[in-house]
Amino acid sequence: MYHSYGYLEDGKDLRTFRFPPQLRRVPSQGVPVTEDQEARVHALMNQYVMISLHDHPTLVPEDIFELPDLIRQGRDFTGYEGLRASGLHVVFDNMLDGTSMITSHHGWKWDDVLYDLGMRFSDLAHQNTVRVIRRYHDIAAVKAAGQVGLVFAVEGGAPIEHELDRVDILYGFGVRMMGLVYSESNALGSGLKEVRDGGLTQFGRAVVRRMNQLGMAIDVSHTGDRTALDAIACSDVPVFVTHAGARALWDTPRMKPDAVIQAIADKGGVFGIEAAPHTTLTAEYPRHCLDGVMQHFEYVANLVGLEHVAFGPDTLFGDHAGLHQVFAQAMSLDTAQAGLSFPTVPYVDGLENPAEFPNIIRWLVVHGYRDADIAAVAGGNILRVLAQVWGEEGTTGLCRDN
């Protein structure tokens, strides 16, 4: 199988890093199922479109403290083997997000984002395991071809600075979703890290309008609550929270209050459930695991209905908990848990990397969810909103093989 930048010579054209296995790096446990249940899981994943609303399907070095050196080399390595094993048809790929420090020690620079996109597209052009998705109809083509589609996303709007036309440039480079704010405030609005939330700025309103015009999906996962509510109200189309949980279950700024969850649903949008280490914890599951993640899923589903919930696990291939240690300040993790006490984990048992997405489907099968409901939360709800946001309503034929 092709590996990233296989057209270059290791040690000569680029520095060589040791990467851990993409599959079974750690003894993460699956969901126990019967033979009949596993057959149903496979049937569902073959029949319906499976979508991760937020992930980073790339590799980090075995020595996690070498990650800054890898990033400054300018090349992010795609986990082709893991993606092929994931059963996913579409992954919203958020690239290096706050760790994009190719030219800066602080990240979120315009040049770094374009550098990241260009290098990734150069690598992707040399293989046929994955395909970049730019239009709604690309999803059906990817599924029919047995490939994995990547929807490129930028997790925060800081790189556009005060240049509205940079939204168009990102769209031209293939970006189809953008987060307005990444934890720290920028020219668009306030982030969840801030003590005071000033809401969406006038420039932020112009960006929302331009994203609507272009057909670029809006993500408010890292914004402050007021900024999220303002963006939802300002947008002409549904808005996403791609990766978060319910603050009612775990009272931290990283989780969303009921008011934001309800506003997303009232607008017709979708709320993606997060699974990155030490995020979607609960009083019952303070040690992060799949059951805790799914407790957040059921809370949101009971609050606003299954038609407004999906999954954005926010995983990667390698030591995610270690990455958080390396980039704690850049990723605003110092305020994420607001002083709460909980046991740390080396990985989230059951959702350690993107290849473990089938465990979500197993959990839903074991807990008695109907096929139609599983199809909706595993991808159908996202497809409905994308058809509106990307301006292709009325497109059909994506939910089942013919």
At residue 329, the pLDDT reads 63
Given the structure tokens 């590996």, which residue do they identify? 3
The encoded tokens of residue 370 equal 């109907």
Confidence band for 347, pLDDT divided at 50, 70 and 90: very high
At residue 400, the pLDDT reads 39
At residue 249, the pLDDT reads 98
Q: Is the CB of residue 30 less than 8 Å from the CB of residue 357?
A: no
Half-sphere exposure for 232 (CA within 13 Å, toward CB): 25
At residue 338, the pLDDT reads 57
Given the structure tokens 């000033």, which residue do they identify? 198
| Alpha helix stretches (DSSP H) within 274-367 | 290-304, 320-326, 358-366
The encoded tokens of residue 92 equal 């919203």
CB burial of residue 198 (10 Å; 0-12, 13-18, 19+): middle
Q: How large is the average pLDDT for residues 109-114? A: 94
pLDDT digits (tens, 9 = 90+) for 369-391: 999 999 999 999 999 999 999 98
User: What is the largest distance, in Å, between two alpha-carbon atoms of the chain?
Assistant: 56
Of all residues in the chain, what percent carry a pLDDT higher than 70? 95
> CA-CA distance, 153 to 389, in Å (whole number)?
14
Please, which residues have CB within 8 angstroms of residue 34's CB and are 6 or more apart in sequence? none
Question: Is the pLDDT score of 170 beyond 50?
Answer: yes
At residue 336, the pLDDT reads 52
The encoded tokens of residue 397 equal 């034929």
Confidence band for 14, pLDDT divided at 50, 70 and 90: very high
At residue 364, the pLDDT reads 98
Question: Is the pLDDT score of 394 beyond 60?
Answer: no
User: Angle, to 10 degrees, between the axis of helix 225-234 and the axis of helix 202-214?
Assistant: 50
Question: Is the pLDDT score of 106 beyond 90?
Answer: no
> CA-CA distance, 391 to 284, in Å (whole number)?
42
Pick 40-389's CATH classification: 3.30.300.180, 3.20.20.140, 3.40.50.720, 3.40.30.160.
Answer: 3.20.20.140
Please, which residues have CB within 8 angstroms of residue 314's CB and are 6 or more apart in sequence? 54, 55, 56, 243, 274, 275, 276, 279
Q: Is the CB of residue 305 less than 8 Å from the CB of residue 265?
A: yes
How many residues in total does the chain contain? 402
Confidence band for 402, pLDDT divided at 50, 70 and 90: very low
Local structure of residue 47 (DSSP, 8 states): H
Comparing 286-290, 306-310, 393-397, which segment has the lowest mean pLDDT?
393-397
Residue 379 φ/ψ, nearest 5 degrees = 175, -35
CA 45 vs CA 265, 312, 323, 401: distances in Å: 25, 17, 30, 11
Strands in 201-321 per DSSP E: 217-219, 240-244, 270-273, 309-311
Q: Report pTM.
A: 0.95
> CA-CA distance, 310 to 51, in Å (whole number)?
8
